[in-house]
Amino acid sequence: GLAWRQCGVGRAEHLWADSGSRTAAHLQDMEKARPLWDNPLQFVFACISYAVGLGNVWRFPYLCQMYGGGGFLIPYIIMLILEGMPLLYLELAVGQRMRKGSIGAWKIISPYLCGVGVASVVVSFFLSMYYNVINAWAFWYLFHSFQDPLPWATCPLNSNRTGYEEECEKTSSTQYFWYRQTLNISPSLETSGTLQWEQALCLTLAWLVVYLCILRGTASTGKVVYVTASLPYCVLIIYLIRGLTLHGAVNGLIYMFTPKLEQLSNPKTWVSAATQIFFSLGLGFGSLIAFASYNDPSNNCERHAIIVSLINSSTSIFASIVTFSIYGFKATFNYESCINKRNLTPLPTETIPYHTDTLPPSCRQAVQGTGLAFIVYSEAIKNMEVSQLYSVLYFAMLLMLGIGSMLGNIAAILTPLTDIKAITSRFPKEVISGFVCLINCIISLVFTMEAGNYWFDIFNDYAATLSLLLIVLVEAIAVCYIYGLRRFEKDLHTMIGRKLNWYWKAMWAFVSPLLIISLFIFYLTDYILAGTLQYQAWDGTQGQLVTRDYPSYALAVIGLLVASSTMCIPLGALLTFVRKRLKRERVSTVA
């Protein structure tokens, strides 16, 4: 409701009609009133803290494993050049030039585009609702990391204390701790269960931390990002040194760096590379536009776009080296233990981590789903010396990555709201921030119920994918063909003092939009061909995941998640058109 109030056309129409003095005056007023980052480095750290997230540690290594090891780097780097870097620069430039959040920035470009900003806010709201649950899980694991032994190191005793819990014996101690003691997961989505108060408290703590980090706007966020951006690298370096000394680590690294070039002929390899770049940089959420709006108008956003995108991709590769060394150790340890227990014929050493399809299920590697970082890493950590120390470091790192991303998500919501004078004139920013966090926290309690993880997967899979592709596609078209590429080029020349390179113009006008359209068609086709949507449910009686069909009400929620954000774009344009028409009729009637 509040976001749509900015779709009024009055002032924005004048800005569109008179692109000269009025726009310049508007921007000068904004420069005087708008808070700024203390220095350009603070802005870079904020962007890195936002972009470098859990996907760099979880998703990228998984994609490397799925699509050809080192060979995946080829499409990944190509997509970085063709899609990631140009679109990142586009959003930073729009935010810095217009000096508004997502709604205000696109409204200045054209009144009919206010729905683009609203769509970004809606998607960011959905993301914030479920993303902070990951931080709650990180807090949960961090608190339990101080126990000796680690609570996921062994199976707990049953109620009679005559043996181990039956469910734990059918799976593993780490999976049991995740699915039963952390999530207390229900057998299906239809069985909602009760609220898990321990997880609810951890979630409340996670939201309290986020609120304290954003309490003073850029003044507090700017200080926090130094920690959230730098601490994960310190932990990764420690893990790299430790990981390379572990037995079997080389097996994982050999697998990662051995390119399987035949995967380059697989279309899904290229789609996965493009998708990873797109979502890893956080395009379309409005966070980058919000961060850039607090820049000095003369800031060199081109250089910063290149720096942030290269650091983000380098971090993914660096994190993969660490992750694969851990994978190699975990796989080798479990494999050798399993072989010794079952007296099976060993496979060649270099194939241990992943080529174990002929082995019993307990000897194989399970590397899918959101619990990957919690199950796989905790499995490896429990077998390390001084496991408590490495557990604390790892989950503190996850927490920093999660909080850093949350700061960007919340900025994408708060910046457009605080740009509305009708709101800021009545309520201080601390109250607005607190209200947004409180609403998010209350709604996100649904993810702490016994069926909460299934709802988490629904939001994670469907709340943003198609919506973000559509948002960024409209952004690129709007800048190049509505605002005008030449006009935008002049704006950039005014800001950074040099002409726009042909590379940026070619990517913005042709290449990047075509890639986004291709991705959009692929995902749309994939959803249609998939038929009945399904999910993975935990069956405690078998100690494994089973596939189930989504119930009808879950399919309705999925449809609403996609429609509620994508429909903002045409509805915003329609609302603006109607208001303009009514205004003209009133003027003609008075005349």
Residue positions forming the annotated binding site for Na(+): 51-52, 56, 280, 312, 401, 405
Residues with Cβ within 8 Å of 512's Cβ and at least 6 positions away in sequence, in order, are: 82, 83, 86, 87, 476
Torsions phi, psi of 195, nearest 5?
A: -70, 135
Closest C-alpha among 40, 11, 29, 582 to residue 302: 40
Q: In whole angstroms, what is the distance from residue 454 CA to residue 556 CA?
A: 15
Distance CA 51, CA 313 (A): 10
User: What tokens were used for 500?
Assistant: 């726009």
CA distance 56 to 400: 13
Distances from the Cα of 6 to the Cαs of 237, 279, 285, 301, 576, in angstroms?
Answer: 46, 27, 18, 27, 10
Task: Please list, in sequence order, all residues whose beta carbon lies within 8 angstroms of the beta carbon of residue 187, skipping any fewer than 6 positions away.
Answer: 537, 538, 539, 540
Distance CA(173)–CA(153), nearest Å, equals 6
**CB-based contact 551:190 (threshold 8 Å):** yes
Write out the two tokens for 537: 């449910």
**Chain Cα centroid distance, residue 482:** 29
Instruction: List the structure tokens of 245.
Output: 């000394």
Pair of tokens at residue 464: 């943003």
What is the gyration radius of the CA atoms in the chain, in angstroms? 25
Closest by CA position to 49, among listed 402, 353, 511 = 402
Per the DSSP assignment, residues forming a β-bridge with 535 are: 548
- Residue among 255, 256, 460, 462 at smallest CA distance from 372: 460
Phi, psi of 157 (to 5 degrees): -75, 155
DSSP state of 548: E
DSSP state of 164: B
Spatial separation of the C-alpha atoms in residues 472 and 512, rounded to whole Å: 10
Residue 576 near residue 7, CB atoms below 8 Å: yes
- Distance from C-alpha of 444 to C-alpha of 466, rounded to nearest angstrom: 22
- What are 292's two structure tokens? 């850039």
Q: Are 246 and 238 in contact (CB under 8 A)?
A: no
Longest dimension (CA), the chain: 95
Kindly give, in sequence order, each residue whose CB lies less than 8 Å from that of residue 470, ignoring residues fewer than 6 positions away.
119, 520, 566, 569
Confirm if 240 and 46 have CB atoms less than 8 A apart. Answer: no
DSSP 8-class letter at 449: B
Q: What is the identity of the amino acid at 433?
A: S
Which string of b and e fits 443-478 if b means at least 16 CB within 10 Å? Answer: ebbbbbbbbbbbbbbbbbebbbbbbbbbbbbbbbbb
